[in-house]
A = this chain, B = another copy of it.
């Protein structure tokens, strides 16, 4: 045994703990979960849990870290030249399509953690991720002068709006395809909520 983590027992133990975590969040919400609950559901010794995690918060943090890492990975797989094009009005941005696809792959956990009983700090991380890898790059050429509102508020507006739509999508159990969803977001952001609603005829 030795170089680079590969003991099957460790992999298995971590997996059953993660699975138990998802089940239990669904059953009673993260706050009400005890380490006892986790190890009973996972059918492992309670001491074994502490071999891998400090406490339940450490477990949550690490599972969230993995989700964020997974998002960073798919960023690198995209062609950096065509990801951020603002003039493709009727074509959803590849970044957004990939984001929805990734969320769909982890739908059960994402729905819980981004839902009303989820973790607001994770929502924050998602917004930061969109800001750093998406919004800021689209607006990279912008100087302050052309902005009608402070840039921080514009960024907060757009990132929160995107997350809100993602949450709504998960809440409704993903009736639309990732592609459709990306298109919806592009439409609203490009034309504006009022215009999309038919309130602004100009």
Contacts and interface: CB of A to CB of B under 8 A. Distances in A.
Interface of A: 31, 57, 86, 115-121, 123-124, 127, 138-139, 142, 146-150, 152-154, 156-161, 163-165, 167-169, 172, 184-185, 187-200
Interface of A: prevailing SS: helix
Contact of A120 (B115, B152, B164, B197): B115
A156 B149 contact: no
A143 to B, nearest CB: 8
A156 B160 contact: no
A172 B151 CA distance: 13
A83 to B, nearest CB: 15
Contacts of A196: 147-149, 154
A142 B198 CA distance: 8
A124 B116 contact: yes
B148 A191 contact: yes
A188 B142 contact: no
A164 B118 contact: no
Nearest to A56: B31
B158 A165 contact: no
Given A192-B190, A192-B194, A156 B147 contact: no
Nearest to A119: B120
Contacts of A149: 184, 187-188, 196
A97 to B, nearest CB: 16
